[in-house]
Structure 1
């Protein structure tokens, strides 16, 4: 089911009201490492090979999402995307060029989809050697969920512009696939186009749970979880960061291939009172649902 053009999700860039506070949280509590800093920005890596997973920028009274960065499979794929975006209804903001001002380097383009979401696609960006992770340290990003007031239109754009495939569709979410991970981008049914959440891959169940304990000790309780999702089969604990961004520790993401059979809303139904496979987690609270609607893309 993989995309011909997109290899993986690389990183997410956010504007935050207090850069020093954000750096302290994402290094000491969330367990990322600073890999680069410049005036009014800091770049944070996990234990995997991606140069950085989060780029945090100082700015504004409320958090905003600047862009979602994906990695192309080749220079030819990058060119194919540049040609496909306008045909699909998107707008190229920055054509393919060297990203010399970005610490990860490489080349890439930036574009806006028809509803204002901003994506960057890169190729040839710097990688790190794999680090043996501590027990509860994030390795990489596994997915980003973006709200949409027009899910079918957003799904079609991701298919036409980036060659994403629909892995599964529930009443609430369309799960879009580009590689072996069950989903890399997902589209949440909503009345707005905000960032729903960012998911960080942990090594295993124990690390998801230890991370939850560390977050609780630091004053950031689990807002939803622990549990095991239906589509994707992944473990989850959801949290709200100091600024209102919803973040997830996850592990054990289902790996799929061309033989995977997609299912629709009629097949993805929980028994009454259950919101995950285990049946021990209560539904997400109102505070989490509210946070999943508040972080909007930077207007262009």
Structure 2
């Protein structure tokens, strides 16, 4: 299962109220590294091949999503994506051009979907050689979950415009696939279009657990976890960052191909009292659920 045009998820860009505070948290506690500093912007990388995975821009009092960046399989794919986006009801914000202001470079285009979510798709951006994962450091982004007040429309747009496929659908979420990862974007079924959470891939289960301890020591307790999801089969610990953004440490994400059997909500049901495979942790608390509704895309 894979998109003919999208190679994978690369990065997410946020507006945050305090860049210095964000740098301290995301480097010292979350364990990313500074890749580049720009004018009122900070670019952070994991231990993987992406030039950066998180871009932080100076913003107002509340965090906002600036854009979600995907990587195209080819330069020609950008042209196909442009046509697909327009046909699917999206709006182009920037035609394909050289990304001279982006520290990763390459070519890219930008568009918004019918509900105002802003996407960038790039090709030819800088990559670093693959190396061994670094203990307790995030490797890359593995998925981003975006809420939707109209999940069928959002799912349809991702399929038509970007070639994503539905991997699984539960009673609360549609899991969209574009590469070997079970899902790179998931769509939360709710009454708003906020950012649900950002998931960072860790090297192994121990890193997910040690990360939970490190975050707790720094004053950021686990908001949900530890546990193992159903769709994707991945381990998880969820947290809320200093600005109210929900972030996840995850590992062991299921790798799938065209032989994967998709399932619907009737398949993904847990026994009473459980919200994951293990049944150890209580359900997400109200604080987490509220945070998953607050971070919206920048208006265009």
TM-score tier (shorter): over 0.9
Matches within 5 A, 1:25-64: 25-64=25-64
Shift of 1:260: 0.4
Tell me the TM-score normalized by structure 2. Answer: 0.99
Shift of 1:39: 1.5
Alpha-carbon distance in structure 1 between the residues aligned to 2:130 and 2:159? 31
Alpha-carbon distance in structure 2 between the residues aligned to 1:215 and 1:46? 17
Is the contact made by 2:19 and 2:57 (CA closer than 8 Å) also made in structure 1? yes
Is the contact made by 2:16 and 2:58 (CA closer than 8 Å) also made in structure 1? yes
Shift of 1:19: 0.5
Query: CA RMSD of the aligned region, Å?
Result: 0.6
Aligned to 2:250: 250
1:53-84: CA deviation from partner (whole Å, max 9, x where unpaired): 00000110000000000000001111100111
Shift of 1:133: 3.5
Alpha-carbon distance in structure 2 between the residues aligned to 1:173 and 1:98? 35
Alpha-carbon distance in structure 2 between the residues aligned to 1:271 and 1:132? 39
Aligned to 1:18: 18
Is the contact made by 2:173 and 2:189 (CA closer than 8 Å) also made in structure 1? yes
Alpha-carbon distance in structure 2 between the residues aligned to 1:36 and 1:185? 26
Matches within 5 A, 1:144-155: 144-155=144-155
Is the contact made by 2:151 and 2:188 (CA closer than 8 Å) also made in structure 1? yes
Shift of 1:129: 2.2
**Secondary structure of 1:144's aligned partner:** strand
Large movers: runs of 4+ above 6 Å: none
Unaligned runs of 5+ in 2: none
Matches within 5 A, 1:58-207: 58-207=58-207
**Secondary structure of 2:24's aligned partner:** helix
Is the contact made by 2:134 and 2:203 (CA closer than 8 Å) also made in structure 1? no
Shift of 1:131: 4.1
Alpha-carbon distance in structure 2 between the residues aligned to 1:231 and 1:72? 25
Is the contact made by 2:200 and 2:250 (CA closer than 8 Å) also made in structure 1? yes
Alpha-carbon distance in structure 2 between the residues aligned to 1:134 and 1:51? 16
Task: State the number of aligned residues.
Answer: 300
**Secondary structure of 2:207's aligned partner:** helix
Alpha-carbon distance in structure 1 between the residues aligned to 2:173 and 2:39? 38
Unaligned runs of 5+ in 1: none
Aligned to 1:219: 219
**Secondary structure of 2:69's aligned partner:** strand
